[in-house]
Amino acid sequence: MSGSKCVRLTGALVKQVLDSVDSVLFDCDGVIWRGDQAVPGAAQVINLLKEKGKKVFFVTNNSSKTRKMYVDKMTTLGFNVKEEEVFGTAYCSAMYLKTVCKLQGKVYLIGSNAMQQELEAVGIQPTGVGPDHISGKQADWANVPLDPEVKACGGGFR
């Protein structure tokens, strides 16, 4: 936005901003926690927002955990969180394939165990999980049997 400038959030401005919104989205890694430690004050602020009636959601582009794994981590760090408030890429990918693509078939997955679990949770069968069954030489690729039930490919590790 041209002409915009940063403004220090004072108590009055924080109240004005919070009074104007119903929902707040927070990124996770590096924003509300770093590694296995909550950012000081993050859990208290988020829990207070919820107590004040704000809807709070957590979003992350990290596909290494299921929503349940995130809830477990966040609960340990002091956050009051429910599974339906967490939107990670593993879950969102599975839901997109199921609800938007209406996928009828398997997904060839190159990704984390969390992605596998989220696909299975919505009734999509992942395949390709685990070690490759070929040597890695290009000449071997032509002999790899293709599964005709695979209708999509998915990938993600972090």
Phi, psi for residue 111 in degrees, rounded to 5? -175, -165
What pLDDT shows up at residue 140? 79
Q: Give the Cα separation of 75 and 47 in Å (integer).
A: 11
Per-domain residue ranges of the chain: 11-88, 90-156
11-88: in CATH 3.40.50.10490 = no
The catalytic position among 19, 22, 27, 132 is 27
What does the pLDDT read at residue 6? Answer: 84
pLDDT given for residue 48 in this prediction: 96
At 55, phi and psi to the nearest 5?
Answer: -85, 130
- Cα–Cα distance, 51 to 64 (Å, whole number): 30
Exactly one of 29, 132, 140, 147 is catalytic; name it.
29
pLDDT tens series, the chain, 158 aa: 567 888 888 888 888 888 999 999 999 999 999 999 999 999 999 999 999 999 999 999 999 999 999 999 999 999 999 999 999 999 999 999 999 999 999 999 998 899 999 999 999 999 987 666 677 778 877 877 888 999 999 887 66
Dihedral sign, CA of 33, 62, 120, 135? negative
Catalytic residue check, 147: no
Predicted pLDDT at 1: 53
| pLDDT score of 4 | 80
Q: Is 132 a catalytic residue?
A: no
